[in-house]
A and B are shown apart, each in its own frame.
Chain A
Amino acid sequence: MLFQDIMLGLDRFWADQGCVIALPHDTEVGAGTFYPTTFLRALGSAPWRVAGVAPSRRPTDGRYGDNPYRFQYFFQYQVVLKPSPLDVQQVYLDSLYALGIDPKAHDIRFVEDNWESPTLGAWGLGWEVWMDGMEITQFTYFQQVGGFDCRPVSVELTYGLERIAMYLQGKEHTFDVEYAPGVTVGALRGDFEVQHCRYNFEESDPELQRLLFDRYEAEAQRLLELGLLYPGYEFVMKASHAFNLLDARGVLSQTERQTYVQRVRRLSEASARTYLAQLGELEPAPEAS
């Protein structure tokens, strides 16, 4: 199955499950969890179902394309279901079946893996799904987002598309995966990966990123105070990416790193608070600080 057919297949499957098929948000994020369609919509009482491909950037994870599994740019397939359906595990297994993976022909396991995002003030409990020993999906029941309790609870499913594709195509390196007929992932993303690794680890200008972080942070605060939630939250995402670049560049001491994490977290919490206030659901007071 081609890489793009996996994405199309999952779109079709989750659309049939009543999901909005959302397009990727056009700001760099470390994971689809940052998307407003996840981070914000996981808050509040209204039901919500969304799915779609989430291109993710994690500068520190880059390996110049040498490692078959690890990249600074990769695709996750992100599904959020609120409230979490009681049969979500079975629906998930059905989605694998729709991709041509018969769960009966594999060793599929749900292995405890809890998740926490210090920058998002979010945490959840769940599993990584193993298929024949390989982690192919992350399953998380959000307990808190932006420092607020999630009621009802959303479940987030994150498929590791590269791994699933490698597995389905029997390839040993992500770059060898066939994306479209005659076009490999490596042909599409190889140079992009290597050049960005050089940029992230060797060439990015830390002074510029520090400056950008400060400006993004100030802008986010200003806009959130004006009640301009969406533009404000976009600057939160940008600030977070600037921090990730500084982290990859190896210029942050442990303490400094912790301070940046706290700064992003405060912005995330302010965004969550603004969102809930605009929904008219800002009560009770946040439980976490």
Chain B
Amino acid sequence: MPDLLFEIGTEELPSWYVDEGRAALAQLVEERLSEAGLAPTSVQGFSTPRRLAVLAEGVPEGSEQREELRRGPSADVAFDDNGTPTRAAQGFAASSGIDPKQLEILDTERGRYVFARLKRGGEHAAAVLPPLLTAMVADLPAPSKMRWSDVATPFMRPVQWLLAMLDSDALEFEAAGVKAGRVSYGHRFLAPGPVRLKRAADYVEALRAASVLVDAEERDEATWRAASEAAAAEGLRAHDDPALRAEVRNLVEYPIAVLGHFDEGYLELPDEVLSTVMIHHQRFFPTQTADGKLARGFVGISNNRVRDEAVVRAGYEQVLGGRLYDARFFWDADRRKSLSQHAWGLSGIGFQKDLGTMADKIARVSDVAAGLAQALELPKGERDALDQALPIFRADLSTDMVFEFPELEGVMAHAYALAEGLAPEVAVALEDGVLPRGPGDRLPASRIGAVLAVADRLDKIVGFFALGKRPSGSADPFALRRDGLGIARVMNAQAWRMPMADLVLEGAAPHRAAGLEIPADVEAEVARFLWDRVASLLAEQGMAVPVVRAAVQGSRSVIDAARRAHLLRSLMEHEEFPALMALYKRAANLARQEAKGGRNVKPGLFRNDYEAPLFEALPGARRGVETLLAQVREALPGWDLGFPPERPLGELGAGVAEVLALKAPLDAFLDHVLVMVDEADVRANRLALLREVTEVLRGLGALDQLEGV
């Protein structure tokens, strides 16, 4: 069976799309070929900044032959009393491309219908493919396409050429203003010009010969090898940053490493500043000496092997030098003022219309943080450090360095705090307060940093909700969801048992004091919004939605909900627990029959043999629930909710058996006791007993949500 090669040559794609586009094209080719009855045996994607390609091996010579039954009108309508086809039948036959005589009548579940038996497939792949490939150029998923010239089909970047071959045959079609052929192009500088392919299967080799590494993995390894070897030449180690590697390999078709150096004097800058400038601004690999210190060597990955490497090196060094010159200028200038002085500048930076300046915001954050510290009963030492950090929290926003390199916010607060001699725990808290910057980013290491981080985000969410600027659908222009996720992760990691409602109240108080109107329903909305973030983090880790709901609705704090979710998941995996839940449901339904009624069960009113055993099983079950809750508290001390707990919950202990001991008497009770008897006091007593049972079990979570697990 032949191989299909399809390559879309483009002007330089955005580096982040080189991987994404490759996967999208491979998937599209696989789907469309399968739909057309041409499912290949394997599909492999390739990409560089200038091309997306797919090699589909084992494409059938012709599309799979299959029969399709097309349903038409019902038999009654299709034929008149004489058995002659009506106009409805004739129309259906014509639209199916067959003679009315060939129509068949078949029995179906919904009655007798007329069917047309159609033969599909059996066409040559070479005839089927061109229109499919044309459509794929237009349909390739991409987050932002562009138009160019007067070409009608948008794409990520202008399409330069199309190559489509079935084994050694070129496929003819036109898309995005370009005619397809058997010609690819080599490296823009190292092997410019056409690469004519003899066979589809030659693709990778032919392009490698033209200085293009089309295989992403091969290019990634080559990039890293080149960088490591260049660094090793001077006894240095290149800094392995996977995100940088992925970006750099997608900025070149063939990686060539160039080792350069910056001036020794710049080493006095904080390492983070040097790394940020090298990585984010120039996409250079920083290097380290053997003892792990940042070195003045750096490795740039060039896309060109030039006659005189010194030219490229000099260019790299000059540009990096210019950036570092700026950075040192900012470093020196910023340190002429203390962070308290920089904090004055916050009143000149707007936060949000109707929510004041950054200075106003930080004043509110201070109130929230102080409230949290009190509620959390932080020890005096930490509260003192917090008091020192609050007036200068986010003061680095008004430094020149952060203005120029916004990604250094927090990092610079830390560096400047140390430079002016503040206590290390204050410096750490200042940096922690801006964490996490996004999903996957690290969380605050210090408790006071966590207080700052939560207070800062809470202030923003409450304020924006009060202004009616809440996220809707996929639109979240102020990244409030990101902030909410941050709060959930931090609170869980800190294992704070602060109720969500209290948290929101803390966040709202300073806004109210500043004159912002926050109706109670907005508070409830914020709490719901935060709970939704907790739920989405739990669901991301594969928790079933009912389990998440039961955990969240049965909890007051984030950590409580997260622990319950793990507990309920474990319980649901237990062979007997689901049966107990079925009984719970029956009991709860019964207990609901009469809204009011006492709680006190009076053994004196027991009238048959099934009431007392259930009543006597309650203390054990209650103890079991408490044992289980204590076990999860012990086993799950608090963890980053963006990830699974460091240690899984493990086997559930004795508590399970104690809870399950309720099953037999409850089962017997429900089978043998008529609850809704006429005698009012006996009925009330039985209802009270059931209420007691359900309440004990609800200690595990909002079990009514567990239905359907």
Contact = CB atoms under 8 A, between A and B. Distances in A.
Interface of A: 66-69, 83-86, 89, 103-112, 124-125, 127, 131-134, 141, 143, 150-153, 155, 167, 172, 250, 253-255
Question: Counting chain B CB atoms within 10 Å of each CB, which of A83, A134, A172 scores highest?
Answer: A134
26 contacts: A67-B326, A67-B329, A84-B149, A86-B177, A89-B11, A103-B189, A106-B311, A106-B312, A107-B306, A108-B189, A108-B304, A109-B12, A111-B15, A111-B251, A132-B319, A133-B284, A133-B316, A133-B319, A141-B148, A151-B147, A153-B147, A153-B149, A167-B315, A167-B318, A254-B350, A254-B353
Contact of B312 (A86, A127, A132): A132
Interface of B: 11-16, 49, 144, 146-150, 157-158, 160, 177, 189, 251-252, 258, 282, 284, 300, 302-304, 306-308, 311-312, 314-316, 318-320, 322, 325-326, 329, 348-350, 353, 357
A133 B300 contact: yes
Contacts of B158: 84, 86, 141
A93 to B, nearest CB: 8
Contact of B303 (A105, A109, A141): A109
A152 B282 contact: no
A134 B312 contact: no
B315 A104 contact: no
A255 B350 CA distance: 8
A132 B314 contact: yes
Contact of B349 (A83, A86, A172, A254): A254
A125 B303 contact: no
Given A86-B158, A111-B15, A255-B353, A105 B146 contact: no
Given A133-B282, A133-B315, A255-B350, A105 B251 contact: no
Given A125-B144, A133-B316, A134-B319, A83 B149 contact: yes
Contacts of A110: 11-12, 49
Contact of B149 (A86, A103, A132): A86
A278 to B, nearest CB: 22
Which 6 residue pairs are nearest across A and B when measured between Cβ atoms? Answer: A132-B315, A254-B350, A112-B14, A110-B12, A107-B302, A152-B150
Nearest to A132: B315
Given A104-B304, A107-B300, A141-B147, 18 more contacts: A83-B150, A84-B158, A86-B177, A105-B306, A105-B311, A107-B304, A108-B189, A108-B303, A112-B15, A132-B314, A132-B315, A133-B284, A134-B318, A141-B148, A141-B158, A150-B147, A152-B150, A167-B318
A200 B147 CA distance: 39
Contacts of B49: 110
B150 A151 contact: yes
Nearest to B11: A89
Contacts of A112: 12-16
B325 A68 contact: yes
Contacts of B12: 109-112, 127
A201 to B, nearest CB: 14
Nearest to B315: A132
Contacts of A250: 348
Contacts of B307: 104-105
Contacts of B349: 254
A109 B149 CA distance: 22
Nearest to B17: A112
A167 B319 CA distance: 10
A125 B145 CA distance: 9
A105 B149 contact: no
Given A112-B15, A133-B300, A107 B315 contact: yes
Nearest to A127: B12
A143 B319 contact: no
B282 A104 contact: no
Contacts of A106: 304, 306, 311-312, 315
Given A132-B311, A253-B350, A153 B318 contact: no
Contact of A68 (B16, B157, B282, B322): B322
A110 B158 CA distance: 13
Contacts of A111: 12, 15, 251
Question: Counting chain B CB atoms within 10 Å of each CB, which of A107, A152, A155, A254 scores highest?
Answer: A107
A150 B150 CA distance: 10
Nearest to A112: B14
A143 B304 contact: no
B150 A125 contact: no
Nearest to B160: A86
Question: Counting chain A CB atoms within 10 Å of each CB, which of B14, B148, B177, B282 scores highest?
Answer: B148
A255 to B, nearest CB: 4
Contacts of A167: 315, 318
B399 to A, nearest CB: 15
Nearest to B316: A133
B342 to A, nearest CB: 16
A126 to B, nearest CB: 8
Contact of A104 (B144, B258, B284, B306): B306
Given A132-B314, A132-B319, A253-B350, A109 B251 contact: yes
A250 B403 CA distance: 14
Contacts of B306: 104-107
Contacts of B325: 68
B357 to A, nearest CB: 8
A159 B136 CA distance: 36
Given A68-B325, A107-B303, A143 B315 contact: no
A131 B284 CA distance: 14
Contacts of A85: 149
A272 to B, nearest CB: 18
Given A86-B160, A253-B350, A152 B149 contact: yes
A131 to B, nearest CB: 7
Contacts of B319: 132-134
Contacts of A89: 11
Contacts of B308: 105
B312 A107 contact: yes
B43 to A, nearest CB: 27
A152 B15 CA distance: 26
A106 B188 CA distance: 12
Contacts of A255: 350, 353
Nearest to A155: B148
A132 B348 CA distance: 38
Contacts of B311: 105-106, 132
Nearest to B314: A132
Contacts of B149: 83-86, 152-153
Nearest to B301: A107
A110 B15 CA distance: 10
A83 B151 CA distance: 10
B126 to A, nearest CB: 28
B244 to A, nearest CB: 14
Nearest to A173: B322
Contacts of B189: 103-104, 108
B316 A132 contact: yes
Nearest to B14: A112
Nearest to A87: B160
Contacts of A86: 149, 158, 160, 177
Question: Counting chain A CB atoms within 10 Å of each CB, which of B15, B284, B304 scores highest?
Answer: B304
A127 B15 CA distance: 11
Contact of A131 (B13, B315, B348, B350): B315
Given A68-B325, A69-B322, A111-B251, A143 B15 contact: no
A84 B312 contact: no
B141 to A, nearest CB: 17
A143 B154 CA distance: 11
A250 B149 CA distance: 41
Contacts of B318: 132, 134, 167, 172
Contacts of B146: 124-125, 141, 143, 153
Nearest to A149: B147
Nearest to B317: A133
A66 B326 CA distance: 10
Contacts of B14: 112
B315 to A, nearest CB: 2
